[in-house]
A = this chain, B = another copy of it.
């Protein structure tokens, strides 16, 4: 459970940056090398590599080096865990309206009886 909390902390922290979200979006289309990923950004490579490091630390992406090429891929499971957090909040919110519906039904029922 504590692991999950720490994981969500680092996933949301990783996603709180437009460059890192764009990298995730690119990797959702399929694996890519670091140089392919860096191309759209007007950024020095060391700065870009810091973003890659934050994404790897969050568990959102993994990478493998083959020769001189480092290839990154998305780790869907971690992304899905973060999405589930939103689904849980939506379920609570929906439950709240179910409760209001029940209350209104009870109140209306009460009116009919009077």
User: A74 near B: Cβ within 8 Å?
Assistant: yes
**Chain A residues close to B by CB (< 8 Å):** 5, 8-10, 12-13, 15-18, 21, 24-25, 28-30, 74, 76, 79, 82-83, 85-90, 92-93, 95-96
**Nearest B residue (CB) for A18:** B5
Known contacts A10-B16, A29-B92, A29-B96; 13 additional CB pairs below 8 A are A8-B18, A9-B16, A13-B13, A15-B85, A25-B88, A25-B92, A28-B92, A28-B96, A29-B93, A29-B95, A74-B93, A79-B86, A83-B90
**A96 neighbours in B (Cβ, 8 Å):** 28-30
Cα separation A83 to B80 with both chains bound (whole Å):
11
**A76 neighbours in B (Cβ, 8 Å):** 93
Instruction: Identify A18's interface contact among B9, B29, B83, CB under 8 A.
Output: B9
Known contacts A16-B16, A83-B83; A89 and B28 CB within 8 A of each other: yes
Whether the pair A86, B92 counts as a contact (CB closer than 8 A) is no
Q: 4 closest pairs, A vs B, by CB?
A: A12-B16, A28-B92, A83-B86, A13-B16
